[in-house]
Amino acid sequence: MIPTLDDLGDVAGKRVLVRTDFNVPMDDGVITDDFRIRAALPTIQWLTSRGATVITASHLGRPKGRPDARYSMDPVRARLAELAPGVELLENLRFDPGEEGNDPAFAASLIDGIDAYVDDAFGACHRAHASIVGPPRVLPSAMGLLLQKEVEVLLGLREHPKRPFVAVLGGSKISDKLGVVESLLNVVDALVIGGAMCFTFLAAQGKPIGASLWEPDQVDTCARLLATSAARGKPIHLPEDIVGLDAGGNFATYGTRLPDGAKGFDIGPGSAAAFSDIIMDARTVFWNGPMGMFEDDRFAAGTRTVAQAMADTKAFTVVGGGDSAAALAQFRLDDEIDHVSTGGGASLELLELGDLPGLAALRGAPNA
The binding site for ligand ADP (CB under 6 A) comprises 170-173, 195-196, 213, 264-265, 288-290, 292-293, 295, 321-324, 344
324 binds, among Mg ion, ligand ADP, none (CB under 5 to 8 A by kind): ligand ADP
The nearer residue to ligand ADP, 96 or 323, going by C-beta atoms, is 323
> Considering beta carbons, is residue 52 or 274 the nearer one to ligand ADP?
274
- 322 interacts with Mg ion by CB under 5 A: yes
CB 94, min distance to ligand ADP, A: 18
Catalytic residue among 14, 19, 36, 127: 36
| Catalytic site includes residue 36 | yes
Burial of 108 (0-12, 13-18, 19+ CB in 10 A): middle
Pick the catalytic residue from 302, 322, 344, 358: 322
Stretch that binds Mg ion, among 180-188, 197-205, 316-324, 346-354 (CB under 5 A): 316-324
| From 14, 94, 158, 173, the catalytic residue | 173
170 is catalytic: no
Rounded to whole angstroms, the Cα distance separating 36 from 211 reads 34
21 binds Mg ion (CB under 5 A): no
**The CA-based dihedral angle spanning residues 155, 160, 163, 166, taken in that order and rounded to the nearest 10 degrees:** 10
* Cβ contact 107:134 at 8 Å: yes
Alpha-carbon span 208 to 106, nearest angstrom: 49
d(C-alpha 163, C-alpha 40), whole Å: 31
Residue 208 burial (CB count, 10 A)? 13
What type of residue is 189? Answer: D
The phi and psi torsions of 118 (rounded to 5 degrees) equal -125, 130
CA-to-CA dists, residue 175 to 167, 179, 220, 221, angstroms: 17, 7, 12, 10
| Residue 201 to residue 209: CA distance in whole angstroms | 10
Number of residues binding to Mg ion, judged by CB under 5 A = 2
Please indicate whether residue 19 is annotated as part of the active site.
no
Which residue number, 200 or 284, has a Cβ lying nearer to ligand ADP?
200
Structural contact between residues 92 and 50, judged by C-beta atoms closer than 8 angstroms? no
Q: If DSSP codes are grouped into helix, strand and coil, which group holds residue 19?
A: strand
Q: How far is the CB of 12 from ligand ADP (least distance, A)?
A: 39
Using CB under 5 A, which of 100, 323, 334, 352 touches Mg ion? 323
Q: Residue 197 CB, nearest distance to ligand ADP (Å)? A: 8
- Shortest Å, Cβ 156 to Mg ion: 24
CB atoms within 10 A of CB 248: 8
User: What's the number of CA atoms in the CB half-sphere (13 Å) around residue 197?
Assistant: 28
Query: Which residue lies nearer to Mg ion by CB, 161 or 290?
Result: 290
Q: Is-catalytic flag, 264?
A: no
Q: Please, which residue, 140 or 321, has the CB nearer to ligand ADP?
A: 321
Q: Compare residues 26 and 223 and give the one whose CB is closer to Mg ion.
A: 26
Smallest distance, ligand ADP to C-beta of residue 185, A = 19
For strand 339-340 and strand 316-320, is the pairing parallel, antiparallel, or unpaired?
parallel
Minimum gap (Å) between residue 44 Cβ and ligand ADP: 24
Q: From the CB of 302, what's the least distance to ligand ADP, in Å?
A: 8
Q: In whole angstroms, how far apart are CA 220 and each of 30, 196, 206, 215, 352? A: 40, 17, 11, 10, 21
Using CB positions, name the residue nearest to Mg ion: 323
Pick the catalytic residue from 98, 123, 320, 345.
345
User: Considering beta carbons, is residue 120 or 323 the nearer one to Mg ion?
Assistant: 323
Span near Mg ion by CB under 5 A; candidates 200-208, 215-223, 323-331, 353-361: 323-331
Indicate which residues carry an active-site annotation. 36, 173, 322, 345
In the complex, the residues that contact Mg ion under the rule CB under 5 A are 322-323
